[in-house]
């Protein structure tokens, strides 16, 4: 599972960074979204990989080792919300820039 | 009484939040009412900041446990000398730029007042929080509002600049998250004080991961603080912003510096065992490179807004280099310098707009800016009615410009001089070494660059000043309202007060530097903060 997750994060981050360096604004937005996914998965993995373990204490039976770490999950939630909002704002700026400059190049003019 | 004072710690966050939310409700047609609410909230924030500074100067850090959870588990707000001072600085700058914007600028776009309040909330929160993840959240609050404020007034130039600004800051936020996640993965905590307590006991094989995490985290702060290879965004963003926005943005780069100043001694201070001193050389070298880049930029600039932006980079670089040295006396001087330069650059950004109003729009934005951004003059600039305002306008503006120049160069009698003297005094007397031993090369490099930055500012500002005030034969005095000059004059008077009261202020800064560089009492106070006892049941 660790290998699979690491590969996923790697592919997402790699494609994200490549798109981020492209000259079209839309590619940049998609690149940022892919990077955000990679980062979220990464935060998740920092709470150690567990399957079938609840993050919330249900009973006093057992030890804490039977549960997943709730903090990274809370962090991921916050990061998703913030990333979502800022991407929406970026899309608006992208459209405004397209309208004002007449091109979708990130520098506002073709090279 | 003590209870009441303790709850005041959260006021700099709650007040702008409530005011901002309230302002969002009102229609754009009620600009006057919105301005009034914003002004009231900003002034209240200023009063709170002064009270907090007095409280912080007196005793140990004030710790506020949100939701009454004990420290490493719940979220804490911590008020110490450093955060109190920066909150006051923010409040002063916010008041000045708000008053300035009330003349005209607040009407050129939507939701200026709302975004303004949320920006204050984000900045104050970042200064107060004692928790890494909350630092991220407040950073994002601050950045999201700054995206909106940078766009304020719209126009191709601003939209273009914000596109870059937003993308770069979003990328920096990813670095922030990766760094925070790595640090959490290694140490299992996000509370700054708890981190400081746990790092000395960290296993050796985990130390590398911690250092990698801290380095990635620092990337986010260094982008914000505009360290040399990471700070090019600043040069297109700040000159494009509306002047009151650029003035309040002068505090944003200080948030990055604050985070570095706070976290580095805490995570890698003297008590951190093997990890102690990590990253110091890099910060120092980066700071020097930033100063050098700023010097070249100041010399090469034609437009005043660009000169102000490069000066901002120089001041960032100076503080960064001081953080890298982590010497008490140098840090004290750097804090004084930080306060002085923030006020100066805020005032300078406001002043530039008033001066350039009298000139042909874009007259001196020669090839330098024409190449980096479209040459379209802003429509607001051309829309200004020309004519004589109150008499002596040009003389007053000229005096203000002279004061700004003195501050940036570092000449007496204003605080720029005191700040540089304090820094140089610290650099010439390295702690723990006899005067017989020669100065380290690093100190010499810093001293030389610091003095060169003054020379560069002197050359450029005299050139620009002559062109703006003396060269025009048929100079038309710009129409300037008193409400626009007043904030500039007030900020400059504050720097005079900083220099007149230099002894007391320097004493405060030295105490601050001492407590920041030896955070053991901070850590103890946070981790042993008492919970509020449960209230007695009312029915008995």
Q: Any idea what the Cα angle at residue B131 is, between residues B142 and A55, rounded to 5°? A: 110
Of B137, B144, B170, the CB nearest to A32: B170
Q: What is the pLDDT of residue B456?
A: 93
Q: Which of A44-48, A101-105, B458-462, B529-533 has the lowest mean pLDDT?
A: B529-533
Tokens representing B89 are 């600085």
Give burial (CB, 10 Å; 0-12/13-18/19+) of B159: buried
Q: Any idea what the Cα angle at residue B339 is, between residues B451 and B121, rounded to 5°? A: 140
Tell me what the mean pLDDT of segment B218-236 comes to. Answer: 90
For residue B233, give how far its alpha carbon lies from the nearest alpha carbon of chain A (Å): 13
pLDDT digits (tens, 9 = 90+) for B42-72: 999 999 999 888 888 876 668 888 888 887 8
Report whether pLDDT(B384) > 70: no
Name the band, by pLDDT with cuts 50, 70 and 90, for residue B387: very low
**Is B402:B344 a contact under the CB 8 Å cutoff?**
no
Tell me what the mean pLDDT of segment A43-71 comes to. Answer: 80
Residue for token digits 């005041």?
A: B8
pLDDT digits (tens, 9 = 90+) for B483-533: 888 999 999 999 999 999 988 999 999 989 988 888 888 888 888 888 777
Q: Which of B12-26, B137-151, B300-314, B468-482 has the lowest mean pLDDT?
A: B468-482
| Chain A residues whose beta carbon lies within 8 Å of the beta carbon of residue B160 | 97, 100-101, 107-108
For residue B152, give how far its alpha carbon lies from the nearest alpha carbon of chain A (Å): 12
Q: Cα separation of B403 and B427, whole Å?
A: 26
More confident residue, A98 or A11: A11
| DSSP code for B63 | E
Q: Cα separation of A9 and A35, whole Å?
A: 9
Q: What is the pLDDT of residue B12?
A: 92
Name the band, by pLDDT with cuts 50, 70 and 90, for residue A49: confident
Of A46, A85, A90, the CB nearest to B184: A46
Q: CB distance B171–A43 less than 8 Å?
A: no
- Number of H helices and E strands in chain B, helices first, is 23, 2
For residue A66, give how far its alpha carbon lies from the nearest alpha carbon of chain B (Å): 17
Give burial (CB, 10 Å; 0-12/13-18/19+) of B161: buried
Tell me what the mean pLDDT of segment B433-459 comes to. Answer: 82
Residues in chain A whose Cβ is within 8 Å of chain B = 20, 25, 28, 32, 35-36, 39, 42-43, 45-47, 71-72, 75, 78-79, 82-83, 85-87, 89-90, 93-94, 96-97, 100-101, 106-108
Closest-CA residue in chain A for B143? A86
| DSSP code for B68 | G
Q: Cα separation of B289 and A97, whole Å?
A: 33
DSSP labels, B459-523: HHHHHHHIIIIIS-TTPPPP---HHHHHHHHHHHHHHHHHHHTHHHHHHHHHHHHHHHHSTHHHH
| DSSP code for B437 | S
**Is B95:B105 a contact under the CB 8 Å cutoff?**
no
Name the band, by pLDDT with cuts 50, 70 and 90, for residue B377: very low
**Is B126:B225 a contact under the CB 8 Å cutoff?**
no
Q: What is the pLDDT of residue B91?
A: 95
Report whether pLDDT(B370) > 60: no
**Is B309:B60 a contact under the CB 8 Å cutoff?**
no
Does residue B377 come out as left (phi exceeding 0), alpha (psi in the -120 to 50 range) or beta?
A: beta
Q: CB distance A20–B155 less than 8 Å?
A: no
Name the band, by pLDDT with cuts 50, 70 and 90, for residue A36: very high
| Distant-in-sequence, close-in-space partners of B119: CB < 8 Å, separation ≥ 6 | B142, B145, B146, B149, B248
For residue A86, give how far its alpha carbon lies from the nearest alpha carbon of chain B (Å): 7
Of A25, A78, A96, the CB nearest to B137: A78
| DSSP code for B386 | P
Residue B378 — φ and ψ, nearest 5°? -65, 140
Q: What is the pLDDT of residue B315?
A: 93
Beta bridge partners of residue B496, listed in sequence order: none
Name the band, by pLDDT with cuts 50, 70 and 90, for residue B172: very high
Of A20, A47, A71, the CB nearest to B171: A20
Q: CB distance B184–A108 less than 8 Å?
A: no
**Is B162:B111 a contact under the CB 8 Å cutoff?**
no
Q: CB distance A47–B185 less than 8 Å?
A: yes
Count the alpha carbons within 13 Å of B244 in the hemisphere toward its beta carbon: 27
Tell me what the mean pLDDT of segment B425-445 comes to. Answer: 73
Report whether pLDDT(B431) > 70: no
A72 to A42, B199, B441: CA distances (angstroms): 10, 20, 45
Interface test with B, best of A20, A32, A37, A82 (most B CBs within 10 A): A82
Q: Cα separation of A74 and B21, whole Å?
A: 25
Q: What is the percent of chain B with per-residue pLDDT over 70, rounded to a whole number?
A: 88
Rg of chain B, C-alpha, whole Å: 23
Of B136, B151, B160, the CB nearest to A101: B160
Report whether pLDDT(B22) > 80: yes
| Distant-in-sequence, close-in-space partners of A30: CB < 8 Å, separation ≥ 6 | A19
User: How many other β-carbons are positioned within 10 Å of the β-carbon of residue A70?
Assistant: 13
Report whether pLDDT(A68) > 90: no
For residue B189, give how far its alpha carbon lies from the nearest alpha carbon of chain A (Å): 9
Q: What is the pLDDT of residue B46?
A: 93
Q: CB distance B166–A90 less than 8 Å?
A: yes
**Is B130:B32 a contact under the CB 8 Å cutoff?**
no
Residues in chain B whose Cβ is within 8 Å of chain A = 133, 136-137, 140, 143-144, 147-148, 151, 154-156, 159-160, 162-164, 166-167, 170-171, 173-174, 177-178, 180-182, 184-185, 190, 374
Q: What is the pLDDT of residue B3?
A: 64
Of A25, A42, A86, the CB nearest to B181: A42
Of B136, B163, B178, the CB nearest to A97: B163
Residue B325 — φ and ψ, nearest 5°? -70, -30
Q: Cα separation of B471 and B473, whole Å?
A: 6
H/E element holding B65? strand B62-65
Q: CB distance B181–A85 less than 8 Å?
A: no
Q: Cα separation of B321 and B275, whole Å?
A: 20
Q: How far is CA B89 from the centre of its chain?
A: 8
Tell me what the mean pLDDT of segment B170-174 comes to. Answer: 93
Tokens representing B161 are 């600049």
Report whether pLDDT(B536) > 80: no
Question: What's the start-to-end Cα distance of chain B, in Å?
Answer: 26
Q: CB distance B178–A42 less than 8 Å?
A: yes
| Chain B residues whose beta carbon lies within 8 Å of the beta carbon of residue A45 | 185
Q: What is the pLDDT of residue A19?
A: 94
User: How many other β-carbons are positioned within 10 Å of the β-carbon of residue B133?
Assistant: 21
Interface test with B, best of A46, A70, A85, A107 (most B CBs within 10 A): A46
pLDDT digits (tens, 9 = 90+) for A74-87: 889 998 998 888 88
**Is B494:B346 a contact under the CB 8 Å cutoff?**
no
Q: Cα separation of B335 and B329, whole Å?
A: 10
Q: Cα separation of B58 and B339, whole Å?
A: 20
Name the band, by pLDDT with cuts 50, 70 and 90, for residue B480: confident
Q: CB distance A28–B167 less than 8 Å?
A: yes
Q: Which of B90-94, B334-338, B354-358 has the lowest mean pLDDT?
A: B354-358
H/E element holding B162? helix B156-187
Closest-CA residue in chain A for B132? A75
User: How many other β-carbons are positioned within 10 Å of the β-carbon of residue B447?
Assistant: 15
Q: Which of A40-49, B32-41, B361-370, B417-426 has the lowest mean pLDDT?
A: B361-370
Nearest to B161 by CA among B241, B225, B224: B241
Report whether pLDDT(B437) > 70: no
Report whether pLDDT(B312) > 90: yes
Q: Cα separation of B249 and B146, whole Å?
A: 8
| Distant-in-sequence, close-in-space partners of B212: CB < 8 Å, separation ≥ 6 | B182
Q: What is the percent of chain B with per-residue pLDDT over 90, rounded to a whole number?
A: 43
Interface test with A, best of B143, B170, B190 (most A CBs within 10 A): B170
**Is B425:B336 a contact under the CB 8 Å cutoff?**
no
Q: What is the percent of chain A with per-residue pLDDT over 90, rounded to a whole number?
A: 38
Q: What is the pLDDT of residue B27?
A: 81
Q: What is the pLDDT of residue B332?
A: 92
Q: What is the pLDDT of residue B335?
A: 94
More confident residue, B224 or B271: B224
Q: Cα separation of B540 and B537, whole Å?
A: 6
Give burial (CB, 10 Å; 0-12/13-18/19+) of B340: buried
3-state secondary structure of A76: helix
Interface test with A, best of B118, B153, B160, B188 (most A CBs within 10 A): B160
Q: CB distance A108–B133 less than 8 Å?
A: no
Q: What is the pLDDT of residue A105?
A: 85
Q: Which of A40-54, B259-273, B471-485, B497-511 has the lowest mean pLDDT?
A: B471-485
Which pairs with CB-CB distance under 8 Å and at least 24 residues apart come from B39-43?
A: B39/B98, B39/B99, B39/B102, B41/B15, B41/B16, B41/B117, B42/B91, B42/B94, B42/B95, B42/B98, B42/B117, B42/B120, B43/B95
Task: Report chain B's mean pLDDT, rounded to a whole number.
Answer: 85
């Amino acid at each position: 599972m660790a290998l699979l997750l690491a590969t996923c994060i790697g592919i997402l981050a790699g494609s994200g960074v490549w798109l981020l360096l492209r000259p079209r604004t839309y590619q940049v937005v998609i690149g940022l979204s892919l990077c955000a996914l990679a980062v979220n998965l990464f935060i998740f993995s920092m709470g150690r990989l567990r399957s079938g373990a609840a993050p919330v204490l249900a009973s006093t039976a057992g030890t804490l080792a039977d549960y997943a770490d709730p903090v990274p999950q809370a962090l991921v939630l916050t990061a998703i919300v913030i990333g979502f909002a800022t991407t929406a704002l970026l899309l608006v700026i992208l459209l405004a820039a397209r309208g004002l400059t007449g091109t979708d190049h990130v520098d506002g003019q073709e090279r | 009484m003590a209870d009441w004072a303790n709850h005041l710690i959260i006021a700099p966050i709650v007040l702008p939040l409530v005011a901002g939310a309230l302002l969002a409700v009102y229609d754009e047609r009620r600009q006057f009412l919105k301005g009034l609410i914003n002004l009231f909230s900003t002034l209240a924030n200023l009063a709170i900041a002064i009270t907090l500074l007095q409280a912080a100067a007196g005793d140990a850090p004030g710790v506020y446990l949100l939701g009454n959870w004990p420290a490493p588990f719940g979220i804490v707000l911590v008020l110490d000398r450093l955060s109190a001072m920066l909150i006051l600085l923010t409040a002063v700058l916010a008041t000045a730029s708000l008053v300035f914007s009330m003349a005209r600028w607040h009407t050129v776009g939507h939701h200026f007042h709302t975004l303004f309040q949320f920006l204050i909330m984000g900045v104050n929160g970042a200064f107060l929080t004692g928790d890494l993840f909350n630092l991220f959240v407040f950073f994002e609050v601050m950045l999201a509002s700054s995206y909106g404020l940078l766009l304020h007034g719209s126009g191709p130039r601003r939209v273009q600049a914000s596109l870059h600004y937003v993308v770069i800051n979003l990328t920096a936020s990813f670095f922030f998250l990766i760094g925070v996640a790595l640090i959490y993965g290694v140490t299992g905590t996000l509370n700054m004080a708890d981190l400081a307590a746990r790092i000395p006991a960290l296993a050796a094989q985990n130390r590398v991961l911690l250092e990698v995490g801290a380095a990635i985290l620092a990337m986010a702060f260094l982008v914000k603080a505009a360290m040399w290879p990471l700070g090019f965004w600043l040069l297109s963003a700040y000159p494009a912003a509306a002047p009151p926005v650029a003035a309040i943005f002068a505090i944003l780069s200080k948030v990055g510096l604050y985070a570095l100043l706070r976290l580095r001694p805490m995570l890698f201070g003297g008590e951190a065992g093997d990890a102690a001193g990590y990253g110091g050389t890099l910060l120092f070298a980066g700071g020097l490179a930033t100063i050098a880049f700023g010097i070249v930029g100041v010399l090469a600039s034609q437009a005043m807004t660009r000169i102000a932006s490069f000066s901002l980079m120089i001041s960032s670089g100076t503080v960064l280099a001081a953080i890298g040295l982590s010497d008490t006396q140098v840090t004290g001087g750097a804090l004084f310098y930080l306060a002085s330069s923030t006020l100066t650059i805020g005032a300078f950004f406001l002043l530039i707009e008033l001066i350039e109003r009298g000139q042909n729009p874009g007259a001196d934005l020669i090839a330098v800016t024409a190449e980096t951004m479209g040459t379209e003059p802003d429509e607001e600039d051309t829309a200004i009615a020309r004519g004589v305002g109150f008499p002596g306008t040009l003389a007053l503006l000229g005096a203000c410009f002279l004061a700004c120049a003195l501050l940036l160069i570092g000449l007496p009698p204003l605080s720029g001089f005191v700040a540089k003297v304090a820094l140089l005094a610290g650099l010439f007397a390295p702690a723990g070494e006899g005067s017989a031993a020669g100065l380290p090369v690093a100190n010499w490099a810093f001293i030389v660059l610091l003095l060169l930055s003054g020379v560069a500012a002197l050359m450029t500002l005299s050139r620009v000043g002559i062109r703006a005030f003396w060269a025009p034969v048929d100079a038309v005095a710009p129409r300037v309202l008193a409400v626009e000059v007043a904030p500039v004059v007030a900020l400059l008077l504050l720097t005079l007060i900083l220099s007149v009261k230099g002894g007391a202020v320097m004493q405060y800064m030295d105490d601050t530097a001492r407590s920041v560089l030896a955070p053991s009492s901070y850590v103890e106070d946070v981790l042993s903060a008492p919970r509020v006892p449960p209230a007695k049941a009312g029915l008995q």
